[in-house]
Amino acid sequence: MIKMVGAIPIASLKRNLMQVRERIAAAAARVSRLPDTVKLVAIAKSVGVAEIKALMELGVTEIGESRAQDAKKKIMALGAAAGAHWHLVGHLQTNKADQAASLFQTIHSVDSIRVAQALHKEMRKLADQTKMSQPLRCLLEINVAGESSKFGLPPTVTEIAEILRVTNDLSALRIVGLMTMAPYVENDATVSRPIFQKLRELRDELNDQRCYSHPLIELSMGMSQDYWIAVEEGATLVRIGSALFEI
């Protein structure tokens, strides 16, 4: 009998996870990076609680969702014992900032001063209620490819620096890096490389200019179609969904 987790045989899930980890390690080795400088964020938007639980039992601790509402249902169903680190990777509207601040530990999709201010305000409220005051980890989403269908700040140092200067004063947030999505091109991962290179250059330039109180460390880039290229170009967070859940 085939043991299933949700709609996927457990053997497939294990095999996929092993392949993804191996591919990350191989890409890191090609550019002399240590494999543990890259975190796998399992994007769970297409699966349910059973798959997330199984992944966590296999040692995955970073779970990503693209919508706060979906994450809420899954986090409640998993229970507090689960202990995962939750990442919001999809677009965030200011009117969902309260949910986002209470559910996620890292937000990859901050793309305006308004969203940053809304998150800061909600984090301050939560800190008053819970007496915990860890800053919320945030990344600025950058639309490197300039696709009109995508969210994100324009890829210019001046515009990103401006947001960083404002967020310096938002003590409940900690900007930890930059995030981007490469254009989707079926079976051609090469288009992603210049996008990822550009994101790394932007981060390095912003760090050189010291626009922000802390160095920007993280580069959230690479999905199922191109994560090994992202690792070669310096990704510290790869966001992988479908490659984990194929049957």
216 binds ligand PLP, rule: CB under 6 A? no
181 binds ligand PLP, rule: CB under 6 A? yes
Q: Which two tokens stand for residue 27?
A: 């890409």
**Of these, 16, 66, 106, 143, which contacts ligand PLP (CB under 6 A)?**
66
Q: Based on CB atoms, which residue is closest to ligand PLP, 55 or 172?
A: 55
242 binds ligand PLP, rule: CB under 6 A? yes
The region of 55-63, 128-136, 149-157, 220-228 touching ligand PLP under the rule CB under 6 A is: 220-228
177 binds ligand PLP, rule: CB under 6 A? no
239 binds ligand PLP, rule: CB under 6 A? yes
145 binds ligand PLP, rule: CB under 6 A? no
The region of 50-58, 130-138, 157-165, 221-229 touching ligand PLP under the rule CB under 6 A is: 221-229
The region of 49-57, 76-84, 131-139, 238-246 touching ligand PLP under the rule CB under 6 A is: 238-246
Q: How far is the CB of 237 from ligand PLP (least distance, A)?
A: 10
Which amino acid is it at 4?
M
The region of 79-87, 118-126, 197-205, 236-244 touching ligand PLP under the rule CB under 6 A is: 236-244
DSSP per position, the chain: ---EETTEEHHHHHHHHHHHHHHHHHHHHHTT--GGGSEEEEE-TTS-HHHHHHHHHTT--EEEES-HHHHHHHHHHH-GGG-PEEEE-S---GGGHHHHHHH-SEEEEE-SHHHHHHHHHHHHHHHHHHS--PPEEEEEEB-TT--TTS-SB-S-HHHHHHHHHHHTT-TTEEEEEEE--PPP-TT-GGGHHHHHHHHHHHHHHHHHHT-SSS---EEE---TTTHHHHHHTT-SEEEESHHHH--
Q: How far is the CB of 96 from ligand PLP (least distance, A)?
A: 15
Binding site for ligand PLP (CB under 6 A): 43, 45, 66, 89-90, 181, 223-225, 239-243
